[in-house]
A and B are shown apart, each in its own frame.
Chain A
Amino acid sequence: MRVPPKYAQVLAVALLGAATLLTLVVLVFIIVFVLTKGLPTVNAAFLFTVPRDMGRSGGILPTLIGTVLLPLLALVIALPLGVGTAVYLTEYTRESRVTRMLSFGADCLAGIPSIIFGLFGFIFFVVMLHMGWCLLAGGLTLAIMILPTIIRTSEEAIRAVPNAYREVSFSLGATRWETVLKVVLPNALPGIVTGIMLGIARCIGETAAVIFTAGSSLRMPTSVFDSVRTMSVHFYILAREGISSENAYGTAAVLVISVLAVNLVAYGLMHRFISRRTR
């Protein structure tokens, strides 16, 4: 039976609308659920005091700090490597079998479950290099984990920069490096930032790879060789061990709000940067 185009159109709009609505409902439900359960626990004392009794009482200050430091460290390591690789692949090599293989490899790496990276980090950094569970081992492991994402998004962003910009730059006597610095990277920045945001979000939400490499110490870290616990790990341990569901939800609420805040700030900065250059 053929559906008349007029009804097919109505049906399509209805189905697509329903899909969108369903997605939205699920998202809103999760956020509202976490916030209503968690926000009552969250106050200044919760945020800025150290946990006591395994987190049964007290606040989450060390995990808050761990959640800031660990992704930051991972980013500091992964960003120059990732963007550097992307620039090399796009600007300094011609597309060939080797570059395609590298891109393909990066795509495969991006799909590997994080626990595998955790296992690798544990064996290589924690055990073989005698780092022990620490911020550095965790940062290095997460850096390797987000590297493929940063390489691929940066690569796409760099390829999307109009070739005409490069030609103009070269024709004005710029070297390739000057062109990369003055034309390619500034114009690829929005895409690169998207990759960074995806990477940070993955780091903040990560538990498996973190427990294996950065450990789960609740003490305040004093150097990169100290073990740290992130909010995700804290939530996982509090919930799994049944230590305190109030504090678990409180941590989850803070986690959700921080991810939201990071994204808002990034988009805000991005918007200002773009409009400064085109207005």
Chain B
Amino acid sequence: MSDNQAKIVVRDFSVFHGKLQSLRSLTMSIPAHRILGIIGPSGSGKTTFLRALNRLNDLSPETRAEGQAVLDGEDIYHPDYDVVRLRKRVGMLFALPVALPLSIYENVVYGPRLSGVRDRRRLADLVERSLKDAFLWDEVKDRLQTSGMRLSGGQQQRLCLARVLAMEQLEVILLDEPCSGLDPISTAKIEEALTLLKAKYTIVLVTNNTKQAARVADDTAFFLMGELVEYGVTQRLFTIPRDARTSDYVTGRFG
């Protein structure tokens, strides 16, 4: 977790929803090419933090951020920062799989088309590569033109992952409890995909499932009531937590 290869650094970073403060001056750095698991009970600010990292919080007018959030040395909340470019570099997978009412193919090429990719061969290659990386290719390769909405929940979530992976400028993947509604097999496939994908991307995984963090995350951060309680290498955090609250949470005493 050395600072020199930090992909994202936040300093004194707070987020407010109206008068309610959901994140309390967070300071942490997220290293490149590792999976960061964020755990904590609901309402602890995990999702708010995640949505702040690609500025999706901008969509709710009463939400505002304070402090610094830096991606590759640039403050993403600087007034001149290009939000559209940010979201192409920092992709997001939501808790509920949302396939757009388009074909499987069109779902995957949604991002690339926005970036101006028109070449059919290149789009087809992107679709195949992304669906393979999301472990969905074998299940859908013969029916790419059918609607993405006809897939099962687990398949739809992998389609959503493929849709994120198809963005050519992608560097960071944010996942917001991506497996909360999925069957164990789909969950396993997504977890396996993530462990392979960290070679190319930086991954931040918010999860309600402490075991999932223990399985796939290299580092784990424990959030509680908008504060970062403890942050460290996963194995250490789970075996010898330094904070009593972390210890209580990971052993299942509350949350």
Once A and B bind, how many residue pairs between them come within 8 Å at the CB atom? 64
CA distance A183 to B98 in the complex (A): 12
A172: CB under 8 A from chain B? yes
Name the interface residues of B100-151: CB closer than 8 Å to any CB of A: 100-102, 110-111, 114-115, 146-147, 149-150
A97: CB under 8 A from chain B? no
Chain A contacts for B163, CB-based, 8 A: 172
Residues of B in contact, count (CB < 8 Å) = 28
Partner of A173, one of B114, B150, B160: B114
Chain A contacts for B100, CB-based, 8 A: 165, 168-169, 183
Partner of A277, one of B59, B94, B147: B147
Chain A contacts for B94, CB-based, 8 A: 164, 167-168, 171
CA distance A173 to B167 in the complex (A): 9
B92: CB under 8 A from chain A? yes
A178: CB under 8 A from chain B? yes
Complex A-B: 14 CB contacts under 8 Å = A164-B96, A164-B98, A165-B98, A165-B100, A167-B56, A168-B100, A168-B160, A170-B56, A171-B87, A171-B92, A173-B87, A174-B114, A277-B102, A279-B150
Partner of A172, one of B61, B85, B114: B114
Whether B111 lies near A172 (C-beta < 8 A) is yes
How extensive is the interface on chain A, given as a class? 20 to 34
Give the Cβ gap from B123 to chain A, nearest Cβ, in Å.
15
What residues make up the interface of A, taking CB atoms closer than 8 Å to B?
A: 94, 162, 164-175, 178, 182-183, 186-187, 277-279
Chain A contacts for B160, CB-based, 8 A: 168
Q: A interface, by DSSP: helix, strand, loop or mixed?
A: helix
Name the interface residues of B54-111: CB closer than 8 Å to any CB of A: 54, 56, 59, 61, 84-85, 87-88, 91-92, 94, 96, 98, 100-102, 110-111
Whether B56 lies near A171 (C-beta < 8 A) is yes
Q: Contacts A178-B114, A279-B146 given: A173-B85 contact, CB under 8 Å?
A: yes
What residues make up the interface of B, taking CB atoms closer than 8 Å to A?
A: 54, 56, 59, 61, 84-85, 87-88, 91-92, 94, 96, 98, 100-102, 110-111, 114-115, 146-147, 149-150, 160, 163-164, 167
CA distance A186 to B84 in the complex (A): 22
Give the Cβ gap from B155 to chain A, nearest Cβ, in Å.
15
CA distance A175 to B102 in the complex (A): 19
Whether B84 lies near A173 (C-beta < 8 A) is yes
Chain B contacts for A183, CB-based, 8 A: 100
Chain A contacts for B114, CB-based, 8 A: 172-174, 178
Partner of B61, one of A94, A178, A182: A94
Whether B61 lies near A279 (C-beta < 8 A) is no
Whether B147 lies near A172 (C-beta < 8 A) is no
What 6 A-B pairs have minimum CB-CB distances, sorted nearest first? A173-B88, A171-B92, A172-B111, A173-B87, A164-B98, A277-B101
